[in-house]
Structure 1
Amino acid sequence: MTADVWLPIPAEEIDGLPAPGDSGLAYRFWDGGAEFPADPADCAFYVVPYMKGPQIAQRPLARMASVRVVQTLSAGTDQIAPGLGVLAPGVRLCNAKGVHEASTAELALTLVLASLRGVPRFVRGQDAEEWRSGFYPALADKSVLIVGYGSIGSAVEDRLAAFECARVDRVARSARTSARGPVHALSELPSLLPRADVVVLCTPLTEQTRHLVDAGFLARMKDGALLVNVARGPVVDTKALLAEVEGGRLTAALDVTDPEPLPSGHPLWHAPGVLITPHVGGSTSAFLPRARRLIAGQLTRFAAGEAVENVVAVTG
């Protein structure tokens, strides 16, 4: 008796997969195309196509009567989680912890440094053949607040260590102690925001964090502070952010936006003090090797009857 595994990466490109004959697994390649590779009812392990959007991610779920594990290749699960209600109880949803930390943290630091040091202005100056010298803010001696202190937030702090920040505050859903110091609860944000020069958003998108960064949140940020979003666009209320950046009180660096992709003509494109990258936090050369290792490891455990890792929810 075989069990189908749907993969968005061809099985022959993933080293370390359990051998089909020995494991009882049959590998089916599906990266979101119009035609399913086999009957979804036979799928036991579904690896969600990466960055294809919720409509594609959720499309086969209603027919996956035998699925036992749904594995994303993204750190967040907001693209697939709303569709899990059609599945039988006991299906495990796993995220891609370990895949995106390095790349996303790299981009977060890139956005911080580029924004503070005026890199977008220099690029425009180069295009215009203008020498735009002057004094610009440094990251050194700044206070940084990381909102969403999971594995990505921790990786951001690892990279901040070399930049001589005055302090780093950490916020997660609930308070705890980390190896680097205390992690504050979300409820403590009102007292933490006024002392932060840079606020980095790494939190997953949930009902609790949707529009977490609203007019009240932004109003508590100090004048001249920088907001960096490498989380999800809807964590930020775009209208409220526009009001602050257009008034010149805050600046922002955004790898994710709401709406996304950001349409032509949207005021965020040309808002003063805003740097935008097109959701490329995890889209680097580091992605595929780490994604392949994750898939191989999870399927090795699955085939052996062992517990899979990175479980963030269980249906039912």
Structure 2
Amino acid sequence: MMTISVPDQAVADALGDVGDDARVIVWNPAESEPPEAERERITIACLAHYSGGRTVYGRLAQCPRLEVIQIASAGFEHVLPLVPAGVALANARGVHDSRVAEMTLALALASRRQLPLFFDAQRRETWEPKFDTRSLADSRALVVGYGSIGAAIGVRLRASEVHVEGVARSARTAPDGTVVHAVEDLPTLLPAFDIVIIVTPHTDETDKLVNAAFLAAMPDGSLLINVGRGMVVDTDALLAELESKRLFAALDVTDPEPLPTGHPLWSAPQCIIVPHVAGVEVLTNRRYTDLVKSQIDARREGRGPVNLVDVRAS
């Protein structure tokens, strides 16, 4: 009998029937120790968003039959060092693609059409037309980190008549036909794109990838969108470009994060900030519950975990 822990009753209700050989219990290791009666039964533990740290993973380590930890995010680099020995880590790759892509499109439109100016005028009850805002149509977008999320972004941008290309570790043609360049080609690519979208995780290789030289290579008036990780962008270098009003930015993630009161990014010209919400999927939604059910089916059928992460990468 499999025992699957989920972080709250709403998720348990959304999962519904998981089969006669499986049972669902409610336990959030961010809030409490494992239930004594369930400690030796839990085989799959599903975590809520923003559940991490040594306390959480220390509690998971108390469950001797635990086989799989299912995190709620696609990104996993923050928990790799904490996974108990012998336990598989699974991420939520694929669950967030549409939500991140929707927010990316919203940020692109809001920045190019300068919606914050109109929102401010509405708040002041002032009619202030501005007719020279930029359209997405006929622009060129470069998606840095072209995976499943990048492909979902590409679909939505192409629907807005944007030319889309990608960047990844190595050059290839993506399954959707997108031309994907190697990351070392960025310096020569950047001058040809009006919009640059960052979707990469934060690793040693991507730390401050978007530095002063990267930003300087972007054309005047171009837009940087970051829906990846805040530390991929050098905040000081970005601030210098924003304060000169040479570039635009739309940021779902920042460094530092959360952005503290008084930080100059809050008031930087031509910058939109949203508080890391692009990819936060509601865990009662179908895409997440389908993933958990697939995880249950994989164990039932003797297959390896879905979305298995190589914890040796830590």
**TM-score (ref. length: structure 1):** 0.89
How far did residue 75 of structure 1 move? 1.3
Which segments of 5 or more consecutive residues in structure 1 lack a partner in the other structure?
none
How far, CA to CA, are the matches of 2:258 and 2:265 in structure 1? 12
How far did residue 100 of structure 1 move? 0.6
Corresponding residue SS for 1:296: helix
How far, CA to CA, are the matches of 1:175 and 1:40 in structure 2? 47
Q: 2:226 aligned to 205, 214, 229, which one?
A: 229
Matched, 1:257 2:230: no
Matched, 1:210 2:207: yes
Q: CA RMSD in A?
A: 2.3
How far did residue 183 of structure 1 move? 1.3
Equivalences, count: 308
Matched residue type, 1:116:
R
Corresponding residue SS for 1:155: helix
Q: Which residue of 2 aligns with 1:29?
A: 27
Corresponding residue SS for 1:169: strand
Deviations 1:112-131 (A, max 9, x none): 00000010010001111222
Q: Which residue of 2 aligns with 1:81?
A: 80
Instruction: State whether residues 18 and 296 of structure 1, in contact with CA within 8 Å, keep that contact through their aligned partners in structure 2.
Output: no
How far, CA to CA, are the matches of 2:39 and 2:221 in structure 1? 52
Give the direction of change, closer, same or farther, for the CA distance of 1:181–1:82 in structure 2 (3 Å limit). same
How far, CA to CA, are the matches of 1:3 and 1:16 in structure 2? 13
Corresponding residue SS for 1:293: helix
Q: 2:109 aligned to 113, 116, 133, which one?
A: 113
How far, CA to CA, are the matches of 1:188 and 1:287 in structure 2? 41
Give the direction of change, closer, same or farther, for the CA distance of 1:121–1:59 in structure 2 (3 Å limit). farther
How far did residue 98 of structure 1 move? 2.3
Matched, 1:126 2:122: yes
How far did residue 29 of structure 1 move? 2.2
Instruction: State whether residues 100 and 152 of structure 1, in contact with CA within 8 Å, keep that contact through their aligned partners in structure 2.
Output: yes
Which deviates the most, 289-298 or 52-61? 52-61
How far, CA to CA, are the matches of 1:52 and 1:3 in structure 2? 23
Give the direction of change, closer, same or farther, for the CA distance of 1:286–1:65 in structure 2 (3 Å limit). closer
Which segments of 5 or more consecutive residues in structure 2 lack a partner in the other structure?
none
Matched residue type, 1:217:
F
Instruction: State whether residues 117 and 136 of structure 1, in contact with CA within 8 Å, keep that contact through their aligned partners in structure 2.
Output: yes
Instruction: State whether residues 71 and 96 of structure 1, in contact with CA within 8 Å, keep that contact through their aligned partners in structure 2.
Output: yes
**TM-score (ref. length: structure 2):** 0.89
Deviations 1:239-293 (A, max 9, x none): 2211111121111001111121111111111110110111111236686221111
Matched, 1:292 2:289: yes
Q: 1:184 aligned to 181, 186, 200, which one?
A: 181
Q: 2:99 aligned to 88, 98, 103, which one?
A: 103
Q: Which residue of 1 aligns with 2:13?
A: 12
How far, CA to CA, are the matches of 2:287 and 2:27 in structure 1? 18
How far, CA to CA, are the matches of 1:92 and 1:174 in structure 2? 28
Give the direction of change, closer, same or farther, for the CA distance of 1:234–1:42 in structure 2 (3 Å limit). farther
Matched residue type, 1:45:
I
Instruction: State whether residues 164 and 178 of structure 2, in contact with CA within 8 Å, keep that contact through their aligned partners in structure 1.
Output: no
How far, CA to CA, are the matches of 1:303 and 1:247 in structure 2? 58
How far, CA to CA, are the matches of 2:281 and 2:88 in structure 1? 27
